[in-house]
Amino acid sequence: MGSIWEIDFYSRPILDDNQKKVWEVLVCESPLDVRAKTDSLFRYAKYCPSTQVNSGWLRTALQEAIAEAGEAPIKIRFFRRQMNNMITKACEDLSIPAQSSRRTLMLNQWLKQRVEEVYPHEPGYQGGTNPSVRLESPLPQRLPDALEGKKWVFVSLEAADLMDMPEWEIGFGEAFPLELARVSPQTRIPGILIFSPRALPIAGWMSGLDLAYLRFDTSVGTRLLLETGVTESWILANIKSPQTLAEAKGFEEAKQQANGVHFIGVQSDPQAESFAGFWLLQEVNLP
C-alpha cells in the first residue's frame, strides 16, 4: 500500500512587499501506524506569491514534492472546503484522488507549530488569527437501515493496549501514532463496539466515508453522531435510557481527558476475536 498525503494551500499571516498575503502549500505524509515515528515522515513546504495562486502553481509544487518523496501518494486529503476546486483540479491533473477530510491530524499539528514558531519570524508577519472561511454544515443523516448495528456498547482500553493494533486481525481500519496525540500509555481511551451479523458490509461502508470522529450531541435530543469527511454527519444512535445517557456522557468526558482520542470497532458478535473494522480517531479543532 502506498502513502496518503495531507495538504493545505492557503494564505498565511505574512504580507509581501505589495502588502498582499503570502500563500503557502504544506504537504505531509499521513502516519497510518499506531507505532509510527512522526519525525521520519515526509514533509514539504513552499511559499506562493498571491499573484500565482492557481491550480497550475499547486500542480507544479505537488510535482516537486513527489520528486522529493520518490513516489506519488495513492490519495491526498485536505480540510479546507473553500479550496476544493483548486486542490481537486491540481490533483486530477496528476491522476491522484483528492478527498476533503477532517482526518488531517499530522497536518493540523504541523500547521499549529508553524503558526507558533515559523511565521512570526518571517518578514511581513502580521500577528492575530488567519481564520478559514466558515461554511454551513448539513444536518446529520440517518444511517441506511441495512447498515444499522444489531447492538453496540461503550468500552475503553488503555492506550498501551492499542499499541498492539498491528497484530490484530482487522478487515477495514486506520490508525495514527499515539505520540501524535500526546497521551500516556496509562490513559484510558474510550470507544464503542458495534455488533452485527453483517459486520463486514458495515465496516466496508464506513471505510468509504473517511471517518473523522464520534461525538455525543444534545442539540436535538440526545444522540451519538459519527462525523465523516469535512461536513458530513450520521446519527449512529438515539440515546433514551438513563443508563445509556450516563455512559454517553462518560464517553465524552473520557474522550476529552484523552485529548480527543477514541475508537470505533465493528465485530460480528461479542465473542469474535477479529474486527471487521477498527478505527482509531481523534477529535481536533481545525484552523
Q: Looking at the structure, do residues 101 and 170 belong to the same domain, yes or no?
A: no
Q: Looking at the structure, do residues 227 and 265 belong to the same domain, yes or no?
A: yes
213 vs 191: CA distance, rounded Å? 10
H/E segment holding residue 4: strand 4-15
CB 42 within 8 A of CB 29: yes
Examine residue 183 and state whether it is found in any structural domain, yes or no: yes
Question: CA nearest 30: which of 110, 112, 90, 132?
Answer: 110
Q: What is the CATH number of the domain that holds 90?
A: 3.30.420.10
Question: CA nearest 267: which of 190, 170, 176, 189?
Answer: 170
Q: Looking at the structure, do residues 151 and 262 belong to the same domain, yes or no?
A: yes
Q: Looking at the structure, do residues 153 and 79 belong to the same domain, yes or no?
A: no
Q: Looking at the structure, do residues 80 and 182 belong to the same domain, yes or no?
A: no
Looking at residue 133, its pLDDT comes to 55
Q: Looking at the structure, do residues 49 and 151 belong to the same domain, yes or no?
A: no
pLDDT in tens, 74-123: 999 999 989 999 999 999 999 999 999 999 999 999 999 999 999 999 99
35 vs 233: CA distance, rounded Å? 29
- pLDDT band with cut points at 50, 70 and 90 for residue 42: very high
Q: What is the count of structural domains for the chain?
A: 2
- pLDDT band with cut points at 50, 70 and 90 for residue 131: low
Indicate the residue among 91, 121, 151 that finishes a domain. 121
For residue 245, the cross-strand partners are: none
Question: Could you give the residue ranges of the DSSP H alpha helices within the chain?
Answer: 55-69, 84-93, 105-117, 159-162, 178-181, 199-207, 242-257
Examine residue 129 and state whether it is found in any structural domain, yes or no: no
Q: Looking at the structure, do residues 115 and 146 belong to the same domain, yes or no?
A: no
111-115, 118-122, 143-147, 206-210: the lowest-pLDDT one: 143-147
pTM: 0.90
Q: Looking at the structure, do residues 210 and 277 belong to the same domain, yes or no?
A: yes
Q: Looking at the structure, do residues 147 and 267 belong to the same domain, yes or no?
A: yes
Q: Looking at the structure, do residues 53 and 91 belong to the same domain, yes or no?
A: yes
181 vs 170: CA distance, rounded Å? 22
Three-state DSSP class for residue 198: coil
Which residue shows C-alpha cell 450520521?
Answer: 234
Question: CA nearest 81: which of 259, 278, 286?
Answer: 286
Expressed as residue numbers, the domain containing 40 is 4-121
Q: Looking at the structure, do residues 196 and 64 belong to the same domain, yes or no?
A: no
Which residues contact residue 263 at a Cβ distance below 8 angstroms, ignoring those fewer than 6 apart? 157, 162, 189, 190, 191, 192, 278, 279, 280, 281
Three-state DSSP class for residue 253: helix
- pLDDT band with cut points at 50, 70 and 90 for residue 253: very high
Indicate the residue among 70, 88, 121 that finishes a domain. 121
